[in-house]
Structure 1
Amino acid sequence: MRAVTKHLDEKARSIFADLGYTVTDSGGEYLAERKWRSVHVTPAEEFDETPESGEYRCFVAWSEDVPDLERRLEAADPEYEWAIMGVDEDGDYEVACHRNAA
């Protein structure tokens, strides 16, 4: 069990705000907007179903959960461009994987 000082959704929101995006709550997700791009940000801590829509999606997960989430998304094969951002407990993050829509 990880010692969490901040919930994953708060970290996701903070990361995108620090990157210069305007972030608005969208009922369990966030919409991050900057210039011409709108990204649906899904904190994947309690991720149950693969969203069906969106042009760009970023799933934010704890770093150790990234491989399982990647397998789930590849199996679902959604029709949008997606990325997974792995976050550690210190708030450091990296884009762990990225897939373009087919």
Structure 2
Amino acid sequence: MGTVTTRLDTQAESIFDDLGYTVSHEGEEITAERKWRVVHVTPMPEPDDAPTSGQFRCFVTREGNCRELERRLQRQHLEYDWAIMGIDETGDYEIHATTVGW
């Protein structure tokens, strides 16, 4: 039997819920809220250009895409705080890059 791959948005929603955030969907994006903080969570199966606006953003990608995504985000010179969450095939995650200490 093959490995079942869970969608990034489903995994991200579960992770933020486990961290105590209230999670909701806005189209393709997830909004995670806790206390005063609202984080816009953007699943990115492949490194892509990031949205140009926001305050706090977390980009969720597969573990192997983290470095390329970080390079793309740095080249964009974004005007908001962001982090990259890499999720491996087992569902474990790690924060790979961040511009803010969450």
- When the two structures are superposed, what TM-score results if normalisation uses the length of structure 2? 0.90
- How many Å apart are 1:53 and its aligned residue? 1.1
| Letter in structure 2 aligned against 1:95 | I
Task: Give the gaps of 5 or more residues in structure 2.
Answer: none
Task: Give the gaps of 5 or more residues in structure 1.
Answer: none
1:1-102 aligned within 5 A: 3-46=3-46, 48-100=48-100
Contact 2:13 2:30 in 1 (8 A): yes
Query: RMSD of the TM alignment (CA)?
Result: 1.3
- SS of 2:54 mapped into structure 1: coil
Same amino acid, percent of matched pairs = 55
In the TM superposition, structure 1's runs of 4+ consecutive aligned residues that sit over 4 Å from their partners are: none
Q: 2: CA distance between counterparts of 1:7 and 1:13? A: 10
Tell me the matched-pair count.
Answer: 98
| Letter in structure 2 aligned against 1:61 | T
- When the two structures are superposed, what TM-score results if normalisation uses the length of structure 1? 0.90
